[in-house]
Structure 1
Amino acid sequence: MDSRTVFPLRLASLVSSNSDILAALGVADWVVAADSHSDAPGLEAAVRVGPDLDIDLDAVAHARPDLVLASLSVPGMERVVDGLHERGLPTLILDPVTVADTLADIRLIGQTLGLEQKGEAVAAQLEADLTRLRATYPRPPRVLVEWWPRPIIAATRESWVTELLAGLGAVNALETRPGRSSPLTLDEVREAQPDLIVCSWCGAKKLRPEVIEARGLGVPVIAVPESGLGRPGPRLLEGARQLAAALGTLNLAPSRRAGAATARTA
């Protein structure tokens, strides 16, 4: 079944990642209500119902959606989801942690909307495109992805960032730290020994990698828009391409961690 034979549904999308998926499936024009951060093409007719953590739930209900797509990938969205349930609104709640979860969500949304073939095609293309970006390095580059500067908050083990980096031949410098993200001191950033720091501040109007550079760590810094790393959807490819390009420029000296381990076992 495809979009030529499916009866359009009235959709509400409350996070940018879901809106990006709907646009990739070709049904952005089905969206009657969207959060204020969603910038996918085709949402011009959608009523804006506020930022993801401060959704006007009554406005969502007033839009009479057949289905509300929400996500727990944004910390704090539990309250919004509870409000949707209190109003008896039909919901599809996503909670991706890995890239594999993201691909599964694309397929799930496609199936839910009667667009199974399209969902499969979009997911398969994203997976193939990401696979083509993988490279081999003298050692896996250690990358720290920073979501916010004050306090420093970065992606940790249970983040799609970890799997995305692994697919590129790199590692999340915080892969052993539990959780999806964590506040860090500057000393903890230094201890993680990143080869590359990524400025991908969520909700920031302007990325300022120079703020990170001014900390004096001597580590290369690149800016990747939140749309390319902070949204578990098809636009992860944008961030992956930027990461792959930056990783290819690194001069990877032997890891100090490896050297320390060798010294301890000598």
Structure 2
Amino acid sequence: MRIVSICPSNTELLDALGLFDQVVGVDDYSDWPAEKVKDLPKLGPDLNINMERLQELQPDLVIASLSVPGMEKNVDRLQELNIPYLVLNPKTIDDIYGDIRTLGAACGVPERAQQLVAELQSKVERIQEKARSIKQAAPKLYWEWWPRPIFTPANANWLTPISDLAGGINLFGDKPGDSYTAEHEEVIERAPDYMFAVWCGVHADKVKTTMITEREGYTAIPAVQNGRVYVLEEGLYCRPSQRLFQGLEELVDLLDPERS
């Protein structure tokens, strides 16, 4: 097969399924695995895919994902051009398992897909055992996807169950939908125990914790007072692929009360 991925998380899933030798093109934001994507044709930003260039690659299947808001425009265009495509739309951990099976079946590797799901499920079980002591304290976790305006994950996003599996609580997990636009006053009032900057599309080395801690009124927040404001690699938390489970493992280590 000739496969094109127009979303970073899908590119990562294709690698996990051992299908990367069939990938002939990706979107500009697909940056992992770095050594494999660097020489592939780039088709533009995920929300502005060059469809003419995509057609030239003669794909048998294009993998899209509605986890990227606005991806619907690309899907409509693929349909108009009669290009075979598959759309994933994960919101929960179980959805990611389901997407792996769906992708594996579509690409002819259902056994590998089932094996990958089993491996990830086993990892989650080990992590949950490790997170027992964290769950007793149930720390409140504030995730920041974007600073101006503040975008943070709401109930129908994988970071809510990820927070729970790690023993914590997503600060805005009670809000409906995928994401929530919060006000600074709400963040202060909810008093998170940890704050995580995972700005979508921004590398961690471009973000400083002071961009959060120095905001007006934030010195009243327990996370700021206790030095628990972190900049994390957004690729481990903002993409619904197997790397999210690596992020979960690192999150548990970060929340471990025995951590020095």
Asked if Structure 1 and Structure 2 have the same fold, meaning a TM-score greater than 0.5 normalized by the shorter chain, the answer is yes
Whichever residue aligns with residue 211 of structure 1, its letter is M
1:223 aligns with 2:231: yes
Match of 1:71 in 2: 65
Query: Do the aligned residues in 2 keep the contact of 1:11 with 1:32 (CA within 8 Å)?
Result: yes
Query: Do the aligned residues in 1 keep the contact of 2:142 with 2:170 (CA within 8 Å)?
Result: yes
Match of 2:255 in 1: 247
Match of 1:4 in 2: none
Question: d(CA) in 2 for partners of 1:103 and 1:86?
Answer: 29
Compute the displacement of 1:116 (Å). 0.7
Richer in helix (by share) = 2
How many residues end up aligned between the 2 structures? 243
**Structure 2: 5+ residue stretches without partners:** none
TM-score normalised to the size of structure 2?
Answer: 0.89
1:62 to 56, 66, 70: 56
**Structure 1: 5+ residue stretches without partners:** 1-8, 252-266
Match of 2:31 in 1: 39
1:232 aligns with 2:240: yes
Question: d(CA) in 1 for partners of 2:82 and 2:208?
Answer: 42
- Percent of residue pairs bearing the same amino acid type: 36
Please give the root-mean-square deviation of Cα atoms over the aligned residues, in Å: 1.6
Cα deviations by residue, 1:90-142 (Å, 9 ceiling, x for unpaired): 01000000011011111111111110111111111112112211212333111
Shift of the 250–193 alpha-carbon distance from structure 1 to 2, 3 Å rule, reads farther
Question: d(CA) in 1 for partners of 2:174 and 2:126?
Answer: 26
Q: Please, which moves more after superposition, 192-201 or 93-102?
A: 192-201
1:213 aligns with 2:207: no
Compute the displacement of 1:221 (Å). 1.1
Whichever residue aligns with residue 208 of structure 1, its letter is K
Compute the displacement of 1:50 (Å). 0.8
Compute the displacement of 1:192 (Å). 2.6
Query: Do the aligned residues in 1 keep the contact of 2:156 with 2:176 (CA within 8 Å)?
Result: yes
2:126 to 132, 143, 163: 132
Query: Do the aligned residues in 2 keep the contact of 1:157 with 1:176 (CA within 8 Å)?
Result: yes
Shift of the 130–209 alpha-carbon distance from structure 1 to 2, 3 Å rule, reads farther
Query: Do the aligned residues in 1 keep the contact of 2:191 with 2:222 (CA within 8 Å)?
Result: no
Question: d(CA) in 2 for partners of 1:250 and 1:200?
Answer: 24
Query: Do the aligned residues in 2 keep the contact of 1:200 with 1:207 (CA within 8 Å)?
Result: no
Whichever residue aligns with residue 115 of structure 2, its letter is A
Matched ranges for 1:88-103 at <5 A: 88-103=82-97
Give the 3-state SS of the residue equivalent to 1:36 in structure 2.
coil
Compute the displacement of 1:218 (Å). 4.2
